[in-house]
Amino acid sequence: MALRSLAIRKAIGLGKSVGLGLRGLQTVTLPDLPYDYSALEPAISGEIMQLHHQKHHQAYVTNYNKAVEQLFQALNKVDTSTVVQLQGAIKFNGGGHVNHSIFWKNLAPVHEGGGEPPHSSLGWAIDTHFGSLEALIQKMSAEGAALQGSGWVVSTVVGFKSLQLFHHCCCHCLYVSANVHLCILFFASLHASFWQWLGLDTEFKRLVVETTANQDPLVTKAPTLVPLLGIDVWEHAYYLQYKNVKPDYLKNIWNVMNWKYASDVYQKECP
Amino acid sequence: MGSVTCNPLAPPSTHLLLNPSKIPKFCHSRRQLHGSQRASKIIAYYGLKTPPYKLDALEPYMSKRTLEVHWGELHRGYVEGLNKHLAKDDVLYGYTLDELVKVSYNSGNPLPVFNNAVQVWNHDFFWESMQPGGGDIPKYGVLEQIEKDFGSFTNFKEKFIGAALTLFGSGYVWLVLKREERRLAVVKTSNAINPLVWNDIPIISLDMWEHAYYLDYKNDKGTYANVFMNHLVSWNAAMSRMARAEAFVNLGEPKIPIA
């Protein structure tokens, strides 16, 4: 998944040349959106898209580059405690950059196929694992609404066991798989900032619904997970438009979901 | 542990309040009805407390719209969620909100009611940590203690705002009185965690969840944190909380006269 290292290079913050630092240190740049800010209305307002892209994502890029620069210097000086201390900033800002870069590609205006259900192999896999596309959407929206706070929700079903107990940062989930995908969630979760994902477990070739806290990329859940779709459930992703009515956001975002991207990734991993 | 047995229906008696660490452990043993059956079903336990000022009183630093949405919808939602939990579970009835927060935190493995209980507590505390015409600097004992523990008020302010800006994700920034160390400290917590669970005493809080500032400041956390310190924070509230805290924490050396 190559990043589009185009255009908007506002304040990379280091005054260095395109992408390549003085000591060969690669910096990241803010990728361009493949559509206008207002193209996803009415599901997501243009104001939110602009702030989200130009302010939030840009801040992650800038701060990640700063942290990496400091890391580089600390590594050269063999300043181990600084190296360790920087990990938080790198995980947070780097994760924010990774996640948002995927997010922009996950969305598409309606006239470019946004909201169109997946066909071919991904569509088949969804029907097999979740029963139907509606069931998957229902599940992801319910999880996203239940978690209090910020983060990303990803879809993970580790299929063939009949009962699976997940302990995920203070929440307990009971999955009953096979024909009826009934998910009983006992959330004592304190998650405030999170992401919701539909991912692919490349080892077992199974679709997964997962959540990650703050800006943790999906790969922090397991190295074999590849994100197919991610939903940003941080408040900045919807608050200006939906205020506290998070369920509406989680319902409407499916109208601009770019299943084609998810299909492409899926087919690449499961040819 | 003295008289504390695992009797989940008995709310802690008054004397235990003086020693919060002795709150009886929350346990799911068999339910027994104490005394006579309740004649009618209790419907509501907690009400939504209104902030001690009108919703537009914090303008232009925190808009009326923010208060309407943050207090009127979100905080209200937490209260209703809390009441729903309490309606389902008799065991939880009888605790004060402070006790409920500590008990349901369950030493890091929180019970479902914790999220709603602690957020009700946090928001009650947050509204009262602000006032119209707030900001400026504290006086008397609070200022003395801040200068003693941080060096200077400016240093404390920098630390506080710095904590707000380096918080990853959602959370709160607190000025707490640490019970064990008997000093003030700036603490940042993730999501809804509250220093009460570590047995410390909060003095001031700043809500750094995005919903608290997004409508007014969008992503500009720095301006929001500075405005809070300069124009919103209620040092009066801090003073009364410190005064109460000093009943539990001995901050000074006792002055024992010689001879």
Place of tokens 């240093």: B155
Task: Compare all CA atoms of chain A with the CA of B73 and give the residue at the minimum distance.
Answer: A244
| Residue whose C-alpha is closest to residue A258's, from A6, A44, A51 | A44
- Are the C-beta atoms of residues B173 and B188 closer than 8 Å to each other? yes
* Residue B14 pLDDT greater than 50, yes or no: no
- Please tell me which of the candidates A56, A151, A213 has its beta carbon nearest to residue B219: A56
Question: Is B17 within the bounds of a domain?
Answer: no
- The full 3-state SS of A112-163, as one line of letters, equals HCCCCCCCHHHHHHHHHHHCCHHHHHHHHHHHHHHCCCEEEEEEECCCCCCE
Q: What pLDDT is stored for residue B128 in this prediction?
A: 97
Give the confidence band of B97 by pLDDT, cuts at 50, 70, 90. Answer: very high
What is the per-residue pLDDT across B204-226, written as a single tens digit (0 to 9) for each? 999 999 999 999 999 999 999 99
Interface test with B, best of A62, A93, A168, A239 (most B CBs within 10 A): A239
Q: What pLDDT is stored for residue A17 in this prediction?
A: 35
Domain membership of residue B90 as a residue range = 64-249
What is the per-residue pLDDT across A83-132, written as a single tens digit (0 to 9) for each? 999 999 999 999 999 999 999 999 999 999 999 999 889 999 999 999 99
What is the per-residue pLDDT across A35-91, written as a single tens digit (0 to 9) for each? 999 999 999 999 999 999 999 999 999 999 999 999 999 999 999 999 999 999 999
| A239 to B115: CB separation less than 8 angstroms, yes or no | no
- Torsion, Cα B69 B70 B73 B74, to 10 degrees, reads 140
Question: Is B18 within the bounds of a domain?
Answer: no
What is the rounded average pLDDT of the residues A194-220? Answer: 94
- Are the C-beta atoms of residues A28 and A3 closer than 8 Å to each other? yes
Amino acid at B203: I
Give the confidence band of B29 by pLDDT, cuts at 50, 70, 90. Answer: very low
Domain count, chain B: 1
A215 in reach of chain B (CB within 8 A): yes
Q: Residue A259: in which H helix or E strand, if any?
A: helix A259-269
- Averaged pLDDT score across all residues of chain A: 80
B135 in reach of chain A (CB within 8 A): no
| Residue whose C-alpha is closest to residue A11's, from A62, A64, A47 | A62
What is the per-residue pLDDT across B156-166, written as a single tens digit (0 to 9) for each? 999 999 999 99
* Residue B18 pLDDT greater than 90, yes or no: no
| B171 to A192: CB separation less than 8 angstroms, yes or no | yes
Contacts of A88 in chain B (CB under 8 A): 168
Q: What pLDDT is stored for residue A146 in this prediction?
A: 77
Question: What is the C-alpha separation between A3 and A6, in angstroms, rounded?
Answer: 9
Question: Is B49 within the bounds of a domain?
Answer: no
CA A5 to chain centre: 19
* Max CA separation in chain A (angstroms): 58
Between helix A58-76 and helix A87-106 the angle, nearest 10°, is: 140
Q: Which residues contact A253 (CB under 8 A, 6 or more apart)?
A: A43, A44, A107, A231
What is the CATH number for B238? Answer: 3.55.40.20
Interface test with A, best of B218, B220, B221, B224 (most A CBs within 10 A): B218
pTM above 0.95? no
**Torsion sign, CA atoms B64, B66, B68, B72:** negative
Q: Establish whether B34 is an annotated binding residue.
A: no
Give the confidence band of A199 by pLDDT, cuts at 50, 70, 90. Answer: very high
B112 in reach of chain A (CB within 8 A): yes
Interface test with B, best of A85, A92, A150, A214 (most B CBs within 10 A): A150
Task: Compare all CA atoms of chain B with the CA of A89 and give the residue at the minimum distance.
Answer: B168
Beta strands in chain B (DSSP E): 171-178, 183-190, 201-207
| Residue whose C-alpha is closest to residue A152's, from A204, A221, A244, A60 | A221
> pLDDT above 90 covers what percent of chain A?
69
Q: What pLDDT is stored for residue B44 in this prediction?
A: 60
Q: What pLDDT is stored for residue B31 in this prediction?
A: 46
Question: Is B30 within the bounds of a domain?
Answer: no
Contacts of A187 in chain B (CB under 8 A): 112, 115
| Residue whose C-alpha is closest to residue B153's, from B169, B140, B134, B166 | B140
Strand, helix or coil at A197?
strand
Question: Is B53 within the bounds of a domain?
Answer: no
Question: Is B4 within the bounds of a domain?
Answer: no
B64 in reach of chain A (CB within 8 A): no
Q: What pLDDT is stored for residue A150 in this prediction?
A: 56
* Residue B121 pLDDT greater than 90, yes or no: yes
What is the per-residue pLDDT across A232-257, written as a single tens digit (0 to 9) for each? 999 999 999 999 899 999 999 999 99
Per mean pLDDT, which range of B25-34, B52-61, B204-213, B237-246 is the poorest? B25-34
B115 in reach of chain A (CB within 8 A): yes
Question: Is B13 within the bounds of a domain?
Answer: no
Beta bridge partners of A166: A173
Give the confidence band of B259 by pLDDT, cuts at 50, 70, 90. Answer: confident
Task: Compare all CA atoms of chain B with the CA of A241 and give the residue at the minimum distance.
Answer: B215
Q: What pLDDT is stored for residue B157 in this prediction?
A: 97
Question: Is B180 within the bounds of a domain?
Answer: yes
- Tell which wins on pLDDT, B70 or A157: B70
Q: What pLDDT is stored for residue A180 in this prediction?
A: 29
- Read off the tokens for A162: 């009949």
| B219 to A51: CB separation less than 8 angstroms, yes or no | yes
Give the confidence band of A10 by pLDDT, cuts at 50, 70, 90. Answer: very low
- Are the C-beta atoms of residues A26 and A17 closer than 8 Å to each other? no
* Residue A6 pLDDT greater than 50, yes or no: no
B77 in reach of chain A (CB within 8 A): yes
